[in-house]
Chains A and B, each alone.
Chain A
Amino acid sequence: MKKRHVVLGVVGIVALYAAYLVGHYYGEESVTPSGSTERMIVSPTDVALPAPRVEAPKSIPSMAPPTVKRVVEHSPTPQPSAVFSTPEFHELTQRAFAKLPRMAEIRKKGRRDFHFAPPELTEVADELGAIGDSLERDPRLVPAGQDFLRRCALAEDVMQAARAVCLRDLKHWTANSPLDLSVFPDVVKRIADSLPPTP
């Protein structure tokens, strides 16, 4: 009896999977998107017979088989950050200021390829997140938080992207009091204004 149940269960799973595949491939029917049009703009003078764009291999394609290994998901569950006392928060902002990305230091490490952002850009993210969480939970920390964010946004040696995130957050946490924006560079203001709202 048990064995029968197991077999039935497996058959059920296979049937569900088959249904999934049908839906999957049905959903793959596609049309050319509007942005995909290609056009010919170059006319070569050499008239030697060219090969087609893709020449199929003579033997069985050696293209690798579809990936069968599935990645096990284990993204961490978001953990609330600690609640800080005033001295601890001060220490946090000191640490954050020291970790802000600075191009001079990044170049000193020999990094030369900036096609994508250097990993140093985001090393301060943990501290920025913790500062935001702290200000959200304890309004008494807001003046110290504002001070850190202002210093960050004004720091000329810090990467513009980080200064812009600080300025955006500074505007968020000074929403009820005047903020002199004229002291911040236009480029930092422009990037700050283009960002999603402070979380």
Chain B
Amino acid sequence: MVRILKVLPLLLLLGCGLPIKNHRSLSGEAPAGKVAVRFDDSVPSNQRALVDKDLEILSNAGFVDQSEANILDIPDFSNRSLKQWLETRFSYLVGENYDTSGRVERSLQYQPFLSEVIGPFSSTTIMRNAGGAVYLAGKEEGILYSLLVGGFRLFITTPRVGIFQIGEGLFTTILVPGTKADDDINSYLRLATDFHEARHDDGSGDNAAFPHEKCPSGDYEGQYACDKSTDGPYPVGRVIVQKFRNQCTWCTSAQLANLDLQIADLNGRVLSWAVYNDDQAERINP
């Protein structure tokens, strides 16, 4: 018995722990490995655990419906394709107290462009693509910036650098009423947010970081809360929510209504004249 007590913590430490109880893959497909993301020390441990759980669910999403894969420019919605897509973009996570002002490395001459205005990070902010924001700022100012993340100095030479700042809002604002932060349905919504922000890693020229467009009308009129790309961040997030929603045989009617409201909101943000844009990420070669 003493040996068991000695070994059990070790097993838990190794991560053999608890299976995903509710999320059930319908495809019968083998799980892909988990997306390898690096956490900066500024991310609290409870937030890490939740992100970790989200990525575990993604690794075994098991989507059956393969339609709309073109939005992500992937061949299919297999666990492997989803993992590869996110892993290419979603590399580093920093916490809300992390200073994203960046260190000036040197002057650079970038081509002129129109950038997205990115506001200050407040406690209710859910997540932002800090790497993309710093890249756009550097491009506008003609400065090469770097950020120190978890002991690594990252030179921001592309929006694809993949540095994301997460706040408490990711775990409190995105919360289906009557559920807990670690309930699977909230993982679905957080994963959709991850994919949304990861799309801000992409694009080139005026479309670098896939900036949002000012909404000409509707609920968000005048806000940079719409997309001019049919494969922009909002459609990308929407397709992820919808895949989980369509397979959620264990969701209550209220939870399905919640996901449908989210899907409707995201669909309403795609401008009627939106077009498909190249998702190749620009990179400077200083």
Q: Which residues of A contact B (CB under 8 A)?
A: 3, 6-7, 10, 13-14, 17, 20, 23-25, 27-28, 30-46, 48, 50-57, 59, 61-64, 66-76, 78-79, 81, 103, 113-117, 119, 121-126, 128-130, 132-133, 159-162, 164-165, 168, 187, 190-192, 194-196, 199
Contacts and interface: CB of A to CB of B under 8 A. Distances in A.
Contact of B155 (A51, A63, A74, A129): A51
A53 B282 contact: no
Interface of B: 1, 3-4, 7, 11-22, 30-33, 36, 38-41, 43, 45-46, 48-53, 72-75, 80-81, 83-85, 87-88, 105-111, 119, 122, 124-126, 139, 144, 146, 150-155, 157-158, 160-161, 173-180, 182-185, 193, 204-205, 212, 217-220, 223-225, 242, 245-246, 250-258, 260-268, 272, 279-286
Contacts of A38: 158, 160, 280-283
B2 to A, nearest CB: 9
A78 B43 contact: no
A83 to B, nearest CB: 13
Given A56-B152, A113-B119, A70 B17 contact: yes
Nearest to B149: A63
Contact of B33 (A27, A34, A121): A27
Contacts of B125: 113
Contact of A64 (B1, B150, B225, B253): B150
B243 to A, nearest CB: 10
Looking at A114, A121, A190, the one whose CB has the most chain B CB atoms below 10 A away is A114
Contacts of B110: 42, 44
A62 B148 CA distance: 11
A50 B155 contact: yes
Contacts of B16: 13, 17, 20
A14 B81 CA distance: 30
B268 A125 contact: no
B257 A128 contact: yes
Contacts, number: 311
B105 A34 contact: no
Contacts of B146: 51
B257 A129 contact: yes
Nearest to B254: A129
A118 to B, nearest CB: 9
B150 A63 contact: yes
A37 B280 contact: yes
Given A25-B33, A75-B185, A121 B153 contact: no
B150 A62 contact: yes
A188 B19 CA distance: 41
A70 B18 contact: yes
A43 B110 CA distance: 7
B39 A33 contact: no
Contacts of A196: 242, 245-246, 260, 263
Contact of B176 (A79, A122, A164, A168): A122
Nearest to B204: A41
A75 B18 CA distance: 13
